[in-house]
Homo-oligomer: A and B are copies of this chain.
């Protein structure tokens, strides 16, 4: 399994779907859709929709069947970045080498573009085409799962706790709680979605376990790369967490123990999956998440 080729192929596929869904020709300049499109297309690994697709492969399902689910989680992720970058939150002018939405479109439009992407995610998840493919009650459960992962006890609570933690010392447990909510909940939902939609409870349990460890490993490595990564390779500044006095895994545990913890989660993520060819991509994805340089 050549994971680099798979990542680049699916990234192209996902960006093709985005182009289909928000074609430039159909969008008025200066409209909220213009700001939505700008933000969704301003770079990004497309990791969350890739997790949806990798999970479809694990179930032996065609990726195409999960197009709208993949778009939904990418829109949801983009909304969270737009709002996180706002002056009232992290006040970031740049992300992935592009100006952030509020720098280009103003603050009001950035707030509204985030709102619209969040709302659009649910319009996509409830797409009526799916009723031919899946049991509608399973799709409804998927909508609910995503709403809970993104909501007041998921992603948003994580962001609140992250803002509250600024400049404070955290225990390892508190840091993990922030990450389990801020990034982990949506990652778990991405990995779960196909199994929820096809109604495979056994696979869902395994994938949930995989997703939890994937999310934590991913975040630990994010923290490590912020500390020691090559800014050139990563396309963003490094050393920023330390400069801001942010709680990170290396700051709390040191570099060696942080790496060991990432390895621990890699092993548990792999152990959660059934062996066999279909698990190849998910296995390679956790390797990518831990071994990446960006």
> What residues make up the interface of A, taking CB atoms closer than 8 Å to B?
31-33, 36, 79, 83, 86, 88-89, 106-109, 111-112, 114-116, 118-120, 122-123, 125-128, 130-131, 135-137, 139-141, 143-144, 147-148, 150-152, 156-157, 159-160, 163
Contacts and interface: CB of A to CB of B under 8 A. Distances in A.
A111 B136 contact: no
Contacts of A147: 119-120, 122-123, 126
Contact of A148 (B123, B130, B135): B123
Contacts of A119: 118, 147, 150-152, 156
16 contacts: A32-B152, A32-B156, A86-B108, A86-B111, A88-B106, A89-B111, A115-B115, A119-B147, A119-B150, A119-B152, A120-B151, A122-B143, A123-B151, A128-B141, A136-B139, A140-B140
Given A118-B119, A148-B123, A111 B140 contact: no
A109 B160 CA distance: 7
Nearest to A123: B147
A4 B130 CA distance: 43
A140 B86 CA distance: 32
Contacts of A106: 88
Question: What 3 pairs across the A-B complex have the smallest Cβ distances?
Answer: A123-B147, A88-B107, A136-B137
B111 A111 contact: yes
A126 B107 CA distance: 31
Contacts of A160: 31-32, 109, 112
A130 B140 CA distance: 10
Nearest to A146: B122
Q: Interface residues of A: mostly helix, strand, loop or mixed?
A: helix
A112 B156 contact: yes
A88 B89 CA distance: 13
B122 A122 contact: yes
A226 to B, nearest CB: 22
A131 B123 contact: no
B163 A108 contact: yes
Contacts of A83: 111-112, 115
A262 to B, nearest CB: 29
Contacts of A88: 106-108, 111
B144 A128 contact: yes
A163 B35 CA distance: 15
